Amino acid sequence: MVQGTRGGIGRIAAMLVGLAVVLALLLAGEARAGTYQVAQCGWGVGVDLDPALVATEGTAFFLDPAGCMRAPGSGPVGMGFEGGVAPDGVPGLARARWIAPPGTSFRAAHVTWFGNPQPRNWQGLGVDVDARFDLLAYSWGGVAPARLDLPIEGHAWAFEAWLQCLLEGPVIGCTRSAASTMHLRDLIFALEDPVAPTAQLGGPLAAAGWHRGTATLELDAADTGAGVAGATATIDAAPVLALAPTCAVQLVEGELRATKMQPCPPNATQASEVDTARLADGVHTLRACATDFAGDQGCAADVALQVDNSPPTASFATAAEGQVAAMVKDRYSGSAAGTISVRRAEAEGWTDLPTAFDRDGSGTATLTAPLPDLVAGTYLFRVVARDAAGNVGSAEKRVSGSAAEVRQGAAKPKRGAPGRTPGPRDGGQGPTAQGQATRLTVRLGPSGGRSSHPARQPGAGGSGLTVDYGAAATVRGRLTDAHGAGVGGRPIAIVARPTAAVGRPPERRRVVTEPDGRFELRLAPGTSRRAVVAFHGGGGFAPAPRRSLALRVRAGVTLAAMPRSLRTGEAVTLEGRVDPGAARIPKRGKVVAIQYLERASGRWRPALDARTDAKGRFRARYRFRYVSGEARIRLRATAVPEAGWPYAEGSSPPLLLRVRG
């Protein structure tokens, strides 16, 4: 018989040999990671059938899916199969088939099944497992409405239900003088999705090389099975881009279930502008992860995001007579190009000199240029340098005198700054780099007794801490010399910038090290921030590389429900508030996900979304229509990460609802 067809007598007769009916061996709701449930033909949900299947064959056989949406009391509720009146022995078939999305398979089916086939007509349920067909349940006679729990083994890619005139012909044929009927309703399929989704980063920000200013980041997610339920891109674990596709889901019997075989889209993409100036200079970790509806997660390979928003430092250096020289330094991306120019003081335009650019392995470069023929007068010399990220720094010096004095002055460093890299007043861009080497180690820790989850990387630029809304944090660290001894009495600069626009300037603080080099500073409660800790040198010590700390603050959310105990058919009112603190609620309102705790997997699953008003308040209603018995449902409200929202994901304390059928 052709694969997927139940009408061939030879194949069906072969299946009947040694046939056993399998019933009630698997309990519903035993979901595990990588498994999701699909509700069909009940609870106000229609059916998502295989569109390529020919639903009927032969004479006077009918399939009516419209009964799935029929209101109680208006006729048999469920998908109707009928073998209508015809001459006895005239063959025919009505069938429905559901196809598992690519890479997934049916693991169980829970259905309400009933019917009344006439003699030698039969009804059945089965699955295609790879190249074979397995019967799950069948009957030659009437079946009263019954709930079947059917386990399924192997890679079952299709589930099928049928009503058929099996024995045809005028001698021993099926009875067609009266109609045969079968109904299915309240189907719940458990599908296994073992393949994790994929996430991919794109756009200029994900490209190799150094970055500065604002750049576009693109996030793509794909899943061939249950579909993409969400994806997030993070920098040092702080969300910068989030995907939340619309999925075909509904709360059924207190559980969020799909209403289509592939409930979420197979692909989702989004782009956002990221301001790298809010990040500390250096290397950061750019990561992307996607989650499918089955709960599987897949992540792209981490991308090393190199950020340099600081210009290089430039200063004039000693040169041979007849030349002018400059030194350019850049701590991060390194010096990339530079030009020395000259003009008379009274002139307006600069003349670029043929400049040789010699860069060493540390990122420092030496620029030299021959002097043109100069007469007596006052001249300005300028060096303009660019680093590999595109930042530009410059320095100038003024030389006056006879032609010989001008040539001598051009070959010497700028007056008042022999042997050092100039600061801003000298025409340079940074502090002195001379002195004994230093090392700065820092970490973030909680302040007080509130819950927090530190992620320590002592001494590294990516240290992080997550705290609850309203909690403070403390920056702790130590400044040491090249031998590990503490350096006391030195100023440490700490700049804390919000991770998103909150309308407030960065917080700039200064703390002096203790005699053993240790220091600490309390960061007051607020939004998520990135703190940059720096020692700029001085007192015989060289600057230390800056350290970056990510303080992630969970959003503050409350949730209340009224009533807390209700009956099927009644509605619960859910209301609460997202506390913006120093932030601003987005113009369209803050997205809040109302989630329920899935008992079997222990995961919080989305039930419905709400948006707040301008003050952060939200309100939603949900009516429980299909709960039988008594259900205990735990709910919480979660403020999800969004671009421009300066808080990490935060949830309200869970509350318990009791719903009685």
- Beta bridge partners of residue 417, listed in sequence order: none
Reference 61, options 90, 20, 25, 104; nearest CA is: 90
CA 297/CA 22 separation, integer angstroms: 34
CATH class, 9-192 region: mainly beta
Predicted confidence (pLDDT) per residue in 353-375, tens digit: 999 998 876 778 999 999 999 99
Tokens encoding 435:
């002195």
CA 71, CA 50: separation in Å to the nearest integer? 25
Asked whether this chain's domains 198-307 and 314-346+359-426 adopt the same fold, the reply is yes
**Which residues of the chain are modeled with pLDDT < 70?**
1-33, 72-75, 361, 415-435, 448-463, 626
Query: β-pairing, 238-243 with 249-252?
Result: unpaired
How far is Cα 605 from Cα 631, in angstroms, rounded to an integer?
Answer: 16
Token pair recorded at residue 449: 């007794």
Q: How far is CA 57 from the centre of its chain?
A: 48
| Options 3.90.1570, 2.60.40, 1.10.3470, 3.40.50; CATH of 314-346+359-426 | 2.60.40
pLDDT value, residue 74:
67
Q: Which fold has domain 438-553?
A: Immunoglobulin-like (2.60.40)
d(CA 563, CA 28): 28
Q: In angstroms, how far apart are the furthest CA atoms of the chain?
A: 128
Cis peptide upstream of residue 72 (ω within 30 degrees of 0): no
Helix or strand (DSSP H, E) at 210 = strand 210-211
Residue 540: the pLDDT is 78
Sorted by where each begins, the domain ranges of the chain are 9-192, 198-307, 314-346+359-426, 438-553, 556-660
The answer to whether 344 touches 378, Cβ cutoff 8 Å, is yes
Alpha-carbon distances of 526 from 241, 555, 557, rounded to whole Å: 21, 10, 15
Quickly count: other Cβ atoms within 10 Å of residue 520's Cβ. 16
Q: May I ask the CATH architecture of the domain 556-660?
A: Sandwich (2.60)
């592939």: which residue's tokens? 262
CATH fold of 198-307 reads Immunoglobulin-like (2.60.40)
What pLDDT shows up at residue 415?
56
| DSSP class of 514 | P
User: Which residues sit opposite 148 in a β-bridge?
Assistant: 111
Q: Which stretches does DSSP call E strand in 507-654? A: 507-512, 518-523, 529-535, 544-553, 556-562, 565-567, 571-579, 591-597, 604-611, 617-623, 630-639, 650-651
What does the radius of gyration of the chain's CA atoms come to, in whole angstroms?
36
Q: Which tens digits make up the pLDDT trace of 239-255?
A: 888 888 989 998 888 78
**Exposed e or buried b for every residue in 204-231, given b needs 16+ CB within 10 A?**
ebbeeebbbeebebbbbbbbbbbbbbbb
The structure tokens 């006056």 sit at 400
Q: What's the CA gap between 577 and 617, in Å, rounded? A: 4
CA angle 558, 563, 565 (to 5 degrees): 115
pTM to 2 decimals? 0.64
Rounded distance between C-alpha atoms, residue 146 and residue 269, angstroms: 44
Provide the edge-to-edge strand list for the sheet that holds 313-317. 313-317, 323-329, 365-370, 356-359
- Strands of 371-471 (E only): list them: 377-387, 392-401, 438-447, 452-455, 463-467
- What 3-state DSSP class applies to 16? helix
User: For 131, phi and psi rounded to 5 degrees?
Assistant: -100, 5
| Cα separation, 166 vs 90, whole angstroms | 10
Q: What is the pLDDT of residue 109?
A: 96
